[in-house]
Amino acid sequence: MAPLTGAADAPPQAARPAGLVRSEPASIALRITAAAVAFRLLSALVAFIAHVVFPSYRPDQFTVFGRPSPFWDTFARYDSGWYYQIARYGYTAGPVHFVPGGRSSIAFFPLYPLLMRYVAQLLGPNPANFYLAGIIVSWIAFALAMVMLYKLARLDLPRHRAERAVLYAAIFPFAFFYGVVYSESVFLLFTVSSFYFFRTRRWALGGMCGALATATRVTGIMMLPPLAWIAWRSARPERRDRIAALAAVAFVTAGIGAYSFYIYRLSGNPFEWAATITRWGYYPGGMPWVAPLRLVRTLATHPYTYLTTDRLAPYDTLNGLSAIFFIAATPFVWRRLGAGYALFIIANLWLPLSSGVFEGVGRYCAVLFPCFIWLATVRSRIVSGAVIVLFAVCYTLCLALFTNIHPLF
């Protein structure tokens, strides 16, 4: 693929000094924000129609207002209930509080439910306000994440292609998680922001955003190797700048470190949150290529039988094919955008795939923003149009499945 203008003049991960970052008109950020909110409204309408028209796969696990609501309940599925419990009761109270040796809410990192709690306090005492706060937090974080993704993409792409990267990220099949009571939008916001500030040598801001990302989701710690690589490539040779870069990389661990310290005070084991994750059936550390190869072999030999006889086959296929797509794209990301971005994809795919299951892999892929930036470098209008159509169709399908409580989470 031919390099874009200016790409051959500097290493892929070389950063521009803060004072030389392209100045973008404020109207672009406003336009992206408005488009992001409009897209969330459209997605909410599609989810409402899907919930009304199609039968639910299983009964509602919980409701937003304590009674069925065909519109509002579409925002609260599966893990949303755990975030509600943490936001309302914390980790030590409520019906699903921490119990040594059992499944508990400590598997869910604290930043997102804390934001839910603070916003809910502004809305009033009604328990439903915790869910409404989760929606508000997710939507605001999504809009800001799209703006920051555009700014990050502009370090490598012209304006129209940076906007295309934002579009790809917004309509990726599992991007509907950005609009529901899940932590994906908050995680994407702070992850993209951290990469942007690292690449522009704003070390303090980069370290702070990285720490917030590691306090949002367990996979946040996997951003440490790529950020370290970018810091090593981007820092000036002066001793002061290199020390600042090193301090920023170290501070990224503050988020997960603070949570581990809290868990230590609670349970006596700073990594009890990791032990709790294994009690949910996730056992990281295996060979990450086993599950994708098994899926490819199954779909190549007897796809119809697999998809029609195995209850989880359609959902594992959607999750698994997403992972395979990102795996296949990684060499191209490395070549076009550099090792730092490729390491981010590799590390964040290794952790879930090493557990040997596809559950949740699609939403883990949704935050792998380097792939969307790379897709935006493709010059072919036919390819770009095909990607948009495929993403939009699969987005609608996945949103309808999630809304009607299929095991896609």
Residue 99 has what pLDDT? 67
How open is the CA angle 220-364-293, to the nearest 5 degrees?
120
Q: 408 near 398, Cβ under 8 Å?
A: yes
Q: 47 near 28, Cβ under 8 Å?
A: no
Point out the least confidently predicted range of 20-24, 290-294, 353-357. 20-24
Residue 266 falls in which region: left (phi positive, over 0), alpha (psi -120 to 50) or beta? alpha
Q: How would residue 6 be classed by pLDDT, with cut points 50, 70 and 90?
A: very low
How many Å from the N-terminal Cα to the C-terminal Cα in the chain? 35
Q: pLDDT at residue 5 above 90?
A: no
- Percent helix, strand and coil across the chain, each to the nearest 5: 70, 0, 30
3-state secondary structure 167-199: HHHHHCCCHHHHHCCCCHHHHHHHHHHHHHHHH
List, for residues 130-188, the tens digit of each pLDDT value.
999 999 999 999 999 999 999 999 999 999 999 999 999 999 999 999 999 999 999 99
Sign of the four-CA dihedral 304, 305, 311, 315: negative
Residue 280 has what pLDDT? 75
Mean pLDDT, residues 321-344? 96
Q: How would residue 273 be classed by pLDDT, with cut points 50, 70 and 90?
A: confident
Q: 338 near 377, Cβ under 8 Å?
A: no
Separation CA 253–CA 228 (nearest Å): 12
User: Which residues have C-beta within 8 Å of that of residue 11, sequence separation ≥ 6?
Assistant: 233, 338
The structural domains of the chain, with segments of one domain joined by +, span 7-403
Q: How many other CB atoms are there within 10 angstroms of residue 15's CB atom?
A: 23
Would you list the DSSP string of 244-257? Answer: HHHHHHHHTTHHHH
User: Which residues have C-beta within 8 Å of that of residue 221, sequence separation ≥ 6?
Assistant: 214, 253, 256
Residue 97 has what pLDDT? 65
pTM: 0.92
**Token output for 239:** 């001793």
Question: How high does pLDDT run on average in the chain?
Answer: 90
Q: How would residue 70 be classed by pLDDT, with cut points 50, 70 and 90?
A: very high
Would you list the DSSP string of 195-231? Answer: HHHHHTT-HHHHHHHHHHHHTT-GGGGGGHHHHHHHH
